[in-house]
A and B are shown apart, each in its own frame.
Chain A
Amino acid sequence: MSALLKKRFVDQIKVLFGADPAKPTKPEDISPAAQTIHFYKKGNKDFKLHAQAHEQKSTKWRNRRWATLIFANLLFVISFALDIQILEGALTASRFVGFHLIDLNSALQVMLAHKHIINNLLIGTGTVLVLWVLLGGRTFCSWICPYHLLAEWAEKIHLFLAKKKLVTDQTMDRRLRTVFWVIFALLAIATGYTVYEAISPTGIVSRALIYGPGLAMLWVLALLFFEVFFSRRAWCRYACPIGLTYGVVGIISPVRIKYKLDGCFHEGDCRKVCLVPHVLDTVIKGRAIEPEVPIGPDCTRCGLCVDACPTGSLTFEIKGLSKLM
């Protein structure tokens, strides 16, 4: 990894916690190779026309992701409903053919509140930690979390209404998520009660699917309502501590999106569809510091940008695997 990419790696961790992405300001912030590409791109007016001509919308990754998300949650549902015992429990904690799996954020809340950790809790948490380090941290959010799918549909309504100029996206300070994470961790330690679990839409929706809906779903509906009419994807973007927990796990994950500068037309379609557009700051014209830039840990690896990109400049990458092959 070049010194510039190392610097960006650290910068992207700060972005995960809510900082704004750093812009390259001095010439030495960008590698010579990337500078050359930026230079030849300057003044090329054909870009936009070319880009529009090549526009094609794919839903490949979205379809795969939705299928995975629905399959995983359905497996929970049918394991109980049909008593086939493949995946027992709910997203907070479960057994997959006997192996303990425990959600990292729920486990953290319980450990902080209860201050007594039994072996099963440790084993389940360890297994899930390894799993998501391998699969990409926030991959959990977009590929498994059932609230994510509901929020994605709500987002479609929001974008439709925004297009009709009936609503506008009210953005918030992204540092809020880190604040919430700290507050809920401190509350768990101080009160000995897993407060966050009471309002976690992930847990509530997961249990509603498996054990039947309760009044707690009203809270989830209120969140979705807020996202449709006031603030696009507000919960996932500004509030959810689960996202931050898995984001931290994703820092060292080999699965990520890779950006290639040379073919990019800088249209910004990827940023328009992205849940976390701050991780795609590098695609803005003149910002990429290297010809190839890996996307940071706040990325949920949902693949919407890969689908949206008309030039194939954004692709899934498994670090190390591409070198082997």
Chain B
Amino acid sequence: MSEDNTANGDRKPEAGKVSNAKKQTNRRRALRTILLTGGVLGAAGSGFLPLIYSKKHRLRPPGALDEKDFLSSCIKCGQCVQVCPVEAIKLADLVDGMGVGTPYIDAREQACDFSCDAVQCILACPTGSLTYHKPAHMTVRPGAELSSKPILLAKEKDAEPTLNLAERIGVARLTRPESCLAIQGKGFKGSARGANFEGKLRYMSVDRWKPIPVNDYKYDREVCDLCEQACPIKGAITVEMGLGKDGKMKGIPVVHEACVGCGVCEMICPTEPASIEIIPGEGWRA
């Protein structure tokens, strides 16, 4: 950009007379305009990063459309963030490569424990990016469809105990069986994630309506089965107990078809890193 340029948009030469200086000014202005076009479109190119990164799946809020549809329909308003009682939903930043301002869940930090009882994020979504009923023309990922509406343990005795969810957002997997305390036959005492953990969870034995800090709840298990204890969905995970070869009581966490992929097991798992994790977007395989 030259400093000797004295272009002034307010002044125009008399009609028909275009001086050489003015011509030069116009040419420079055209160049600058092209430069700005390039700059803005270059920045806009960063908007496509999520499409490149989309191979790496992230956990979207419950009821989310498949990634491509989700990215096209999300208006990035954060209303889902606002209604979540445990603040599980966060908005992605520039470097997350998943769309500036789109919502995601970092289950290890704060999983969705359905404390809202009714998947309110879906209710809040104005564009249908999160939806109870997927439009007919959209395909369902293999294994994503739930065989029946999941039963929320907190509502089990209510007249309507189910969550209005048709698809799972992922599936829990015991990705590090070697570190799993249950498999080693170890018990667990104390707060699940240590003193500095800030995540919240609803404990039915403490308060039906209000989630409390995970920190404040002290476990005391003979053989660790925190994933089963914390799971908010009926019949989604069990820790199958049995005697090991050494005669010690051991457990194997088994994920069942009812798993919706909420991530509470990943959040509560006391090993570091978590032995059980949610595979976002993954379908159920028997």
Are B101's CB and A203's CB within 8 A?
yes
- Mark each residue of chain B from 69 to 89: 1 if its CB lies under 8 Å from any CB of chain A, else 0: 101111111110111000000
Q: B126 an interface residue at 8 Å Cβ cutoff?
A: yes
A100: which B residues are within 8 A, CB to CB? 126
Q: B128 an interface residue at 8 Å Cβ cutoff?
A: yes
Q: Please tell me which one of the listed residues B33, B36, B79 contacts residue A88 in the complex, with CB atoms under 8 A apart.
A: B79
Interface residues of B in 201-233 (CB under 8 A from A): none
Are B93's CB and A80's CB within 8 A?
no
Are B126's CB and A198's CB within 8 A?
no
Are A102's CB and B94's CB within 8 A?
no
Q: A211 an interface residue at 8 Å Cβ cutoff?
A: yes
Cα separation A261 to B243 with both chains bound (whole Å): 97
Q: B29 an interface residue at 8 Å Cβ cutoff?
A: yes
- Interface with B: A117-125, A134-142, A292-300, which one? A117-125
On chain A, the number of residues with a Cβ less than 8 Å from chain B's Cβ atoms is 68
Q: A183 an interface residue at 8 Å Cβ cutoff?
A: yes
Interface residues of A in 208-222 (CB under 8 A from B): 210-211, 214-216, 218-219
Q: How far is the CB of A229 from chain B (nearest CB, A)?
A: 9
Q: A204 an interface residue at 8 Å Cβ cutoff?
A: yes
A116: which B residues are within 8 A, CB to CB? 73, 128, 135, 137
Q: How far is the CB of B35 from chain A (nearest CB, A)?
A: 9
**Which chain B residue shows the least CB distance to A271?**
B10
Cα separation A172 to B76 with both chains bound (whole Å): 31
State whether A172 and B72 are in contact (beta carbons under 8 Å apart), knowing that A116-B135, A198-B47, A214-B94 are contacts in the complex. Answer: no
**Which chain B residue shows the least CB distance to A210?**
B78
Q: How far is the CB of A273 from chain B (nearest CB, A)?
A: 12
Q: A267 an interface residue at 8 Å Cβ cutoff?
A: no
Q: How far is the CB of B43 from chain A (nearest CB, A)?
A: 5
A168: which B residues are within 8 A, CB to CB? 3, 5-7
- Interface with B: A41-49, A91-99, A246-254, which one? A91-99
A106: which B residues are within 8 A, CB to CB? 75-76
Q: B15 an interface residue at 8 Å Cβ cutoff?
A: yes
Cα separation A120 to B128 with both chains bound (whole Å): 8
Cα separation A204 to B137 with both chains bound (whole Å): 32
Q: B21 an interface residue at 8 Å Cβ cutoff?
A: no
Cα separation A198 to B101 with both chains bound (whole Å): 8
Are A176's CB and B37's CB within 8 A?
yes
Q: B286 an interface residue at 8 Å Cβ cutoff?
A: no
Are A120's CB and B127's CB within 8 A?
yes
Q: How far is the CB of B86 from chain A (nearest CB, A)?
A: 14
State whether A113 and B32 are in contact (beta carbons under 8 Å apart), knowing that A89-B82, A198-B47 are contacts in the complex. Answer: no
A191: which B residues are within 8 A, CB to CB? 48, 51
Q: B1 an interface residue at 8 Å Cβ cutoff?
A: yes
Q: A173 an interface residue at 8 Å Cβ cutoff?
A: yes
Are A89's CB and B79's CB within 8 A?
yes
Q: Taking beta carbons and an 8 Å cutoff, which residues of B are in contact with A?
A: 1, 3, 5-10, 12, 15, 29-30, 32-33, 36-37, 40-41, 43-44, 46-48, 50-51, 68-69, 71-79, 81-83, 91, 93-95, 99-101, 124-128, 131, 135, 137
**Besides A192-B68, A239-B36, 11 other A-B contacts (C-beta < 8 A):** A88-B79, A93-B126, A110-B75, A116-B135, A168-B6, A170-B29, A172-B29, A193-B71, A204-B101, A238-B36, A278-B9
List the 8 closest pairs (A to B, CB-CB), nearest first: A198-B47, A93-B77, A214-B93, A118-B128, A113-B72, A114-B73, A195-B47, A89-B77
